[in-house]
Structure 1
């Protein structure tokens, strides 16, 4: 390329040349202006040429990038025109068909697939511009029919939105099935692990329940056993006394035996022994009835629940299952009832009281206050303690699964999560907060009963 000449230099050269005929001033000015414009146009052409070269380089780089991406895609890629003629295939499709790309291009798409799938290909080629079609087909390769392939077909449009062809992508069904099976297996293992953890938490809750029931049954069974033992001794005395009477003993001997065996005191004590035994049996019966109510064989069963009875029972059983002593204070509104499953409501209350007792571990004067108040068509049951309260940032996480502040081995982090889920299933809420005077409070809100 010749050296570039600045605008005006060629003009001066030509004007000063002895070959030019003398011109008057106007003609000379006109020629100078024409030559200047020509030089400007020439400079613009040079600049445009440089820009064009840069854009062409960028376009070649973009084309090379797109080609490398297409070649590296493991899924097959087939591009067709509006009539179904193949325009381009990627290396994955070439490997599948076992035919060179040059021998595939310009062939109808229908020639590359199994004849049984021809109708599906025609449906794909006639699909509207905005539609995407998924189908399963087999390809005709140099070695026979291929395995079943999952194909996604999308319409290719020009800048005006007019259909100009179709793009097909796909992969073997076997590969998708293996990926799905692996995902399904992982999901199943996750579900089993979750069920195991939930069952462990249920067993832990059952353990706390059984411990509380054992303490609840211990007292009445103990004095029933003591009374029965005493009645057995009384039976032996009464048998000896009656044997003497029926054996024809002298009245004096009978009187002596009566004084020695304390028959009068025995007969007087019978009433209190029988009354105490019946009272113990009634207490055992009440505990058993409560357990039967809590069995809830049908999870969807709901009924009006006496809040006072369940709350006191759950709190008493939870407290007796823990070592040490904790003061329980109740403030239950008269005739407070909620609608729900009695066993699940009991489970929530046991979990809340159990957590409150754990929070009071080491406290000099542990105290738990349980209250229930009706608010419009709901009943709010609050379980509050005088412990250290909930640390900052814990309130937002406390109902998350597996979150626990207990030492390793003492908690699964599922008790409050399960309780929160039960409350939601009943159309209620379970919330946690810190009390103004210290300690934490958990509030369970459920739909009020009639």
Structure 2
């Protein structure tokens, strides 16, 4: 209760002795009865009591009004957004602390001034006029971006939400402008955009690094495979060069018209007959080595072709065998890999190069995991099975296996259990995306006897009618 409501009510203006004296005096007035005076006094008591009640109620209303004003003032002071209330001509009627702090002016300076004096530039004034002095009552609040002059005279962009203010009859009498300075938001957005661009560049570098790693494994396998035929061709070329020198020496003697005995002796010392007999095998060996080199290059072109939009028929068994060969020859020569293909044709639709990247990545990861176990020789068992128009390929290694707490994260980008510098964490993520684009599935699990197993599932190519 308020102070006024708790005080003791005042006594009547006429106490009992005064009332009796008045009645006695007035009773002597000619023509006025005593009952009439009693009625008048009772009416006066009633009016005075009503005045007391109205006074108490008024004081209670004043207390409530003061509380409401304090509440509204606390709300305005707590607002981080700037607020301006103006009439239909743009004359400021109310502001909040956020606006006054921004522009460096007091409430007394702002009250009664024009809202347009706070703006920077004629363009901002024109935009604000189009909202504040609008005659028609809009259905929804308008939004306008203007520049306010701050305490240092700099233009600060503010995004104002402009709502009409109406009187009791529904007539528009002014505008309430609530806005937020956009400088900090724009700065944060700019920093966020720069960070995003830096992240994209880093991601591109990591993707490039992963591609180079895959290419490095591929090149290492190809280089090892090319070494044998090239070495064979080089050896035969050296022998052919020596044979050519002998033949040149012998032909010089023939053209020099040496006698038959000298030619026969030279023929025996230069082993011309053996040379002529060996030439066909040398040439055949060189042709074979050159053909093997051409086949390897052709296979490299086929398996490392640039990705195309259309998918072609791919022999998955050939892809797996070639991936095993290149990984084992290139970077994991002590890796024991067995492959048990499913009987029958295993043809899928897809990109040979992308599928090769997936299989090579799974084989290389299996070797990296298995080589971490000191007492085991790294080994990988690959088997495939065909069921229901799909082929499933299982890659089971003898490594330590995948911990249960990270099993659900192995395909996440940048996640890796390898030491720093040993992996980018993108190989399995990229492989997962490639398999998804081929309408397949790639999953990981733990083997009951230890080690990890990856399951690659792809739809088989539908036979053409």
1:90 aligns with 2:96: yes
Superposition RMSD in Å: 4.1
1:119 aligns with 2:130: yes
> Match for residue 353 of structure 2?
343
**Structure 1 residues 122 and 251 mapped into 2: Cα distance closer, same or farther (>3 Å)?**
farther
Superposed displacement of residue 353, structure 1:
0.8
> Quick one: which of 394, 399, 406 aligns to 2:406?
394
> Quick one: which of 364, 371, 390 aligns to 2:383?
371
SS at match of 2:406: coil
CA distance in 1, matches of 2:276, 2:440: 58
> Match for residue 233 of structure 2?
224
Q: Which moved more, 1:283-292 or 1:102-111?
A: 102-111
> Quick one: which of 409, 414, 417 aligns to 2:426?
414
Q: Contact (CA 8 Å) 1:110, 1:121: kept in 2 or not?
A: no
CA distance in 2, matches of 1:331, 1:446: 17
> Match for residue 440 of structure 1?
452
CA distance in 1, matches of 2:289, 2:240: 15
Q: Contact (CA 8 Å) 1:99, 1:141: kept in 2 or not?
A: no
Q: Contact (CA 8 Å) 1:124, 1:133: kept in 2 or not?
A: no
**Structure 1 residues 137 and 366 mapped into 2: Cα distance closer, same or farther (>3 Å)?**
closer
1:325 aligns with 2:334: yes
Q: Contact (CA 8 Å) 2:339, 2:381: kept in 1 or not?
A: yes
1:273 aligns with 2:282: yes
1:71 aligns with 2:77: yes
CA distance in 2, matches of 1:123, 1:278: 92
**Structure 1 residues 323 and 369 mapped into 2: Cα distance closer, same or farther (>3 Å)?**
closer
CA distance in 1, matches of 2:411, 2:176: 49
SS at match of 1:404: coil
> Match for residue 211 of structure 1?
220
Deviations 1:182-224 (A, max 9, x none): 2211211222222222222222222222222221211111111
**Structure 1 residues 149 and 364 mapped into 2: Cα distance closer, same or farther (>3 Å)?**
closer
Q: Which moved more, 1:148-157 or 1:172-181?
A: 148-157
CA distance in 2, matches of 1:143, 1:400: 50
**Structure 1 residues 414 and 145 mapped into 2: Cα distance closer, same or farther (>3 Å)?**
closer
> Match for residue 381 of structure 1?
393
Q: Computing the radius of gyration over CA atoms, which structure comes out larger, 1 or 2? A: 2
Deviations 1:205-261 (A, max 9, x none): 222222222212111111111111111122222333333344434444444433333
Q: Which moved more, 1:187-196 or 1:375-384?
A: 375-384
> Match for residue 310 of structure 1?
319
* Aligned length in residues: 396
**Structure 1 residues 275 and 204 mapped into 2: Cα distance closer, same or farther (>3 Å)?**
same
> Match for residue 206 of structure 2?
197
Q: Contact (CA 8 Å) 2:149, 2:156: kept in 1 or not?
A: no
Q: Which moved more, 1:87-96 or 1:305-314?
A: 87-96
> Match for residue 20 of structure 2?
none
SS at match of 1:430: strand
CA distance in 2, matches of 1:157, 1:445: 68
